[in-house]
């Protein structure tokens, strides 16, 4: 797993999306299985601009087979087969998995 601090340095939304695209490309080429993306949640309580822009991109990249799958921190809140498939597939995530449970400021991406 590789951790990506997408909000580091206060990038614009466009810069953050480009950084994520590059990290996905490089991660796939390097054989990384999972990216843990820290995009933040924003202070408004509805999600920050980066998070709001990342999610539609991830849906599109999944539909186009650029990534295998993704799971938001909110989705990770519940225990169950659908919500914990990444942990079952990648047991090495167990340390971060419990501390990040329910965190709306992160998203896990399966490459």
- C-alpha pair distances (Å), 55 with each of 16, 52, 60, 98, 106: 12, 6, 9, 22, 11
The 10s digit of each residue's pLDDT in 13-24 is 999 999 999 999
pTM: 0.87
Alpha carbon distance 66, 53 (integer Å): 17
Which residues span the domain enclosing 37?
Answer: 2-110
CATH code for the domain of 53 = 3.30.1370.110
**Total structural domains within the chain:** 1
Given pLDDT bands bounded at 50, 70 and 90, which one contains residue 79? low
Q: 72 versus 74: which is more confidently predicted?
A: 72
């Amino acid at each position: 797993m590789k951790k990506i601090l997408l909000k580091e340095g206060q990038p614009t939304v466009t810069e953050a999306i480009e950084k994520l695209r590059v990290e996905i490309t490089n991660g796939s080429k390097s054989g990384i299985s999972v990216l843990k993306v820290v995009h933040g949640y924003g202070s408004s309580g509805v999600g920050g601009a980066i998070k709001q822009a990342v999610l539609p991109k991830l849906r599109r990249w999944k539909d186009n087979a650029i990534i295998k799958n993704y799971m938001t921190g909110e989705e990770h809140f519940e225990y169950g087969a659908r919500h914990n498939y990444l942990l079952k597939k990648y047991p090495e995530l167990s340390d971060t998995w419990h501390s990040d449970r329910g965190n709306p400021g992160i998203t896990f991406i399966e490459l």
